[in-house]
Structure 1
């Protein structure tokens, strides 16, 4: 079985490097993007299982990635928002846009890994269905 592919979308090299190392060391394949445009292009080409999506990107709102892919019928199994905004309005906005979960930064490693096991499990609900 092929390891799950996680598209990590964040404009911070520190975040992408740290989370990328964690994901690779725990058996995931990782692709990265630092902008809305790059994330959409990468998702179209790579078809990730999960997208970890920063909301504040240099060329727009990270949720635009999710909206664009959904409109094209290219939904990953799960999209998870990563944000420094720990408030009910941000959480509601992300869930309404189709995110499976919202994780605050800094992202607790064990919470992320537990979630990834759930979101990529063979019997997990598929967001693209």
Structure 2
């Protein structure tokens, strides 16, 4: 297991997000990315989670809507890697996976594309 404190992990996630293609992140309207140590159930099984209504399922979307949320879980990600390079790749995959859910791409399609 690789170890990285919360502040450095948050900075790493920010760097990776900033390096994602513009056409992937420019449409993220009213979406917040949060970093937690663990998901609510305390498990190490979940690396990230999208909470919200996918663009493909939205009707009227307007002023006053609560933001959608992408959660990135630090300890589960750290538990599956052995180096910073591996961590960077897993964080990138997790961000792309959760952003895809925002755009309405489901797990089955993500798996078929190699992002599952």
Name the TM-score class by shorter chain.
Answer: under 0.3
Higher relative contact order (CA 8 A, sep 6+): 2
Structure with more of its chain in strand, by fraction: 1
Specify the structure having the higher radius of gyration (Cα). 2
Q: TM-score, normalised by structure 1?
A: 0.26
Q: TM-score, normalised by structure 2?
A: 0.28
